[in-house]
């Protein structure tokens, strides 16, 4: 800066190339200093741009780590069919497999009104997350608050996003009675006593939502907006219960609707629907038409 002040002062005093060769030298020096200063500014700007790019790269990496699914587990050497058959036969003795408390700790025959979360907790007492992931060769969840051995239903800002690859695997492998006629006969009463009511309820609900696409879209938007709000979602059922007018009585449980809203958001609703249809078609195919009819009953 001192050099610039001196040069500008001399030039301002009226020195020109016609008056003095000294002025020519000053102009040369001035140009050198200007060029040098420009170079410094360009280098500084380049460093700042590189720093910004690095910061953005680190942010993206952190973001990906936060939402990316865990590395896919390797498929287990154990036959998945054997594990699934074992889980089916033990279903009457299923208990709460989640660390968080439920209002029921044991399955009851013909029980109604199990939410998706309650159902998953009982299933986890038969096959835990780590075992399921080894069998499937895929992570159960693609993102969300759940960790291996620790299902977290208390998060108000996120929920467990199912990994579609895992769900598609389950649809193909979790119903051994579909192909094994003998096993189907052996587990028929287990299905009727412990699963039929809720399988049909879940199916009737998604059928009803499918024929009310505008309402289904509004429910998803309300859920997304609530998750993004400062307070998040403390009670999915409470959030959705006032928005179910117009749905049939057997398709208007806030807990079941909440399950399908979350599945629509994470993109696995179609896969879960297919799996439930396979269950009904395997054990009580004559009931499928009746379940579909429930979705068209007079609204509540």
Residue at which a domain ends, from 35, 67, 99: 67
20 and 91, same domain (yes or no): no
156 and 265, same domain (yes or no): yes
Query: Does some domain include residue 300?
Result: no
Residue at which a domain ends, from 39, 67, 95: 67
29 and 158, same domain (yes or no): no
Contact of 157 with 232, CB cutoff 8 Å: yes
Query: Does some domain include residue 253?
Result: yes
157 and 277, same domain (yes or no): yes
57 and 85, same domain (yes or no): no
246 and 281, same domain (yes or no): yes
> Residue 231: CA atoms inside 13 Å, Cβ hemisphere, count?
5
Cα angle value 220/255/248 (rounded, 5°): 80
Residue 162 pairs in a beta bridge with 141
92 and 59, same domain (yes or no): no
pLDDT recorded at residue 117: 72
pLDDT recorded at residue 225: 94
d(CA 136, CA 72): 9
Query: Does some domain include residue 75?
Result: no
Query: Does some domain include residue 299?
Result: no
38 and 187, same domain (yes or no): no
Domain count within the chain: 2
Query: Does some domain include residue 72?
Result: no
pLDDT digits (tens, 9 = 90+) for 76-129: 456 788 999 999 999 998 888 776 655 566 777 766 555 667 777 888 888 888
Residue 141 pairs in a beta bridge with 162
Query: Does some domain include residue 25?
Result: yes
Mean pLDDT of 46-65: 70
Query: Does some domain include residue 274?
Result: yes
259 and 115, same domain (yes or no): yes
pLDDT digits (tens, 9 = 90+) for 267-282: 999 999 999 999 999 9
Alpha-helical segments (H) within 68-124:
80-90, 116-124
Tell me the pLDDT of the chain averaged across its residues: 81
182 and 160, same domain (yes or no): yes
24 and 141, same domain (yes or no): no
Query: Does some domain include residue 73?
Result: no
DSSP 8-class letter at 75: P
Residue at which a domain ends, from 67, 89, 108: 67
43 and 98, same domain (yes or no): no
Confidence of residue 5 (pLDDT cuts 50, 70, 90): very low
pLDDT recorded at residue 10: 42
d(CA 196, CA 256): 15
Domain that holds residue 277: 80-294
d(CA 151, CA 99): 7
pLDDT recorded at residue 6: 43
């Amino acid at each position: 800066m001192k050099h610039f002040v001196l040069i500008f002062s001399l030039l301002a005093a009226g020195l020109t190339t016609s008056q003095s060769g000294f002025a020519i030298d000053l102009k040369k020096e001035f140009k050198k200093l200007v060029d040098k200063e420009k170079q410094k500014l360009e280098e500084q700007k380049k460093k700042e741009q590189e720093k910004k790019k690095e910061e953005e790269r680190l942010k993206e990496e952190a973001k990906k780590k936060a939402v990316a699914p865990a590395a896919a587990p390797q498929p287990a050497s154990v036959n998945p069919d054997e594990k699934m058959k074992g889980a089916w036969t033990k279903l009457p003795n299923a208990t709460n497999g989640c660390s968080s408390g439920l209002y029921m700790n044991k399955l009851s025959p013909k029980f109604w009104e199990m939410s998706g979360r309650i159902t998953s907790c009982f299933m986890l007492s038969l096959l835990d997350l780590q075992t399921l992931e080894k069998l499937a060769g895929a992570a159960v969840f693609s993102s969300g608050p759940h960790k291996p051995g620790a299902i977290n239903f208390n998060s108000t800002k996120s929920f467990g996003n199912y990994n579609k690859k895992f769900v598609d695997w389950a649809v193909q492998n979790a119903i051994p009675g579909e192909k094994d006629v003998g096993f189907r006969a052996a587990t028929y009463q287990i299905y009727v006593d412990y699963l039929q009511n809720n399988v049909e309820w879940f199916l009737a609900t998604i059928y009803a939502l499918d024929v009310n696409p505008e309402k289904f879209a509004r429910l998803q938007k309300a859920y997304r907006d609530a998750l993004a709000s400062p307070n998040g979602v403390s009670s999915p059922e409470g959030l959705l219960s006032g928005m179910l007018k117009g749905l049939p009585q057997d398709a208007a449980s806030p807990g079941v609707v909440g399950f399908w809203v979350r599945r629509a958001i994470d993109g696995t609703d179609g896969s879960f629907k297919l799996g439930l249809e396979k269950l009904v078609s395997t054990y009580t195919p004559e009931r499928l038409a009746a379940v579909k009819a429930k979705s068209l009953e007079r609204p509540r």
